[in-house]
Structure 1
């Protein structure tokens, strides 16, 4: 469904991503595992249209994808939920969830149906009550993250990129988001789950790709994956230190 081939990006002298190639299948939770500075955030930005690659290609549904802006990626069916919670603080929850969903001249959701659409999107995963008419900026951080997730879900994306989205959530909402990921994948959505938490990777993933130093060092099925082996691939020095003290 989606592939990156030889994708590279540098910022000045810093090589953020170097020759990265991964194939992603529809209907899978494909986790991207790596330490800070491994290239995960750069990959997210490249697959969201925020930055352009210096080299390499993105293939989508069998064709070279030529999108160059976030709007191009969203129009093709990509949605990204970033680690940073992106809301309009002075707009209501309803406005935030549907932000950018309507066209300039025509509503995709009739005004009368807006509340129902937002309530249904949140009901799929939010265990914390989120008041629809509240200003998003008045909500706790965890509720704001639920609003951003609902913004992605209401669009029924083909590719959903989740960048460290569980950090702000309490246990019940976190478990519900995991269940949502499985439901969406079972319905054919490709979930790209970016994380550094080994427990989440082994619990949720169908496939795992590991980044280290801007390079893809492994891609493998999650079934039977050994957490110690994954840690050695992701952070060999940390793994060696733990082994020494263990």
Structure 2
């Protein structure tokens, strides 16, 4: 990701995460100054079950939340965007160019990183090794081993209140620390699109605020953050846009000025909103 122009100020901006990574020897991907991800008529069937139906939405720089109850289709959309599953129908376009990702690695190469709700770590490897899992290219290291611990420490300091022991086996650490390690693994790649699937669920409020602050700063520098959360207070605080899914269908996309708890509840579950 290169420096981008902030849409409101017109000033060139980079995120704090970008400065931490590149200032400690990390690689800055060579990408364009703007990013846009568009899905058109996405449909996913599992046998006779229709998990997602004719979903179309455009993601632009900022924080775009996908909201819905269990079974609404938001996890299916996330898996498609992450390259975990392929759509039954529909297309995905990155910066106006159609893409057909088959694996998460394909999406990584296109500048997208995902933090899933399930904590995915190598439990017997150290914290540093976990952060740099899959970071190197097939023929050469993107960063020397001697530079990895300082970079990992500086990156974790942006999202964690307390130091995380870098040489400890990741599987021996608390769940919250493991989630921060996975988030650092996604951020060290400096993705232009960051997908967060309930990625703060295991964190306490103080660490959550640090992560939110970093995410807001990252999005403001011209990146796309696609956020999934069931907590309405988080959605209202973070979101520039919210797309609400219900029963596999997109109901509506709201801009920041129209995001209220009452409106979100009514779109997610009309019967519950009326009863409330």
Instruction: Choose which of 83, 92, 113 in structure 2 pairs with 1:79.
Output: 113
Deviates more, 1:89-98 or 1:5-14: 5-14
Q: Tell me the TM-score normalised to structure 2 length.
A: 0.86
SS in structure 2 at match of 1:223: helix
Q: Secondary structure at the match of 1:6?
A: strand
The answer to whether structure 1 residue 103 and structure 2 residue 137 are counterparts is yes
Output aligned runs, 1:195-234, within 5 Å: 195-234=229-268
Q: Which runs of 5+ in 2 are unaligned?
A: 1-35
Q: Which residue of 2 aligns with 1:23?
A: 58
Superposed CA offset, 1:68-87 (max 9, x none): 11111000000000000000
Number of aligned residues: 241
The whole-number CA distance in structure 1 between the counterparts of 2:204 and 2:263 is 29
2:168 is paired with a residue whose SS is coil
Matches of 1:171 and 1:178, distance apart in 2: 10
On the 8 A contact 2:194/2:224 being kept in 1, the answer is yes
- Unaligned runs of 5+ residues in structure 1 are none
| Alpha-carbon contact 1:208-1:221 (below 8 Å) kept | yes
TM-score, L = length of structure 1? 0.96
Aligned equivalent of 1:10: 45
Which stretches of structure 1, 4 residues or longer, exceed 3 Å deviation after superposition?
none
Partners in 2 of 1:225 and 1:70 — Cα distance? Answer: 31
Contact map agreement 2:64 2:227 (CA 8 A) in 1: yes
Q: CA RMSD in A?
A: 0.9
Equivalent residues in 2 for 1:149-160, closer than 5 Å: 149-160=183-194
Hey, what does 2:79 align to over in structure 1?
Answer: 45
User: Following the alignment from structure 2 to structure 1, what is the Cα–Cα distance between the partners of residues 139 and 191?
Assistant: 22
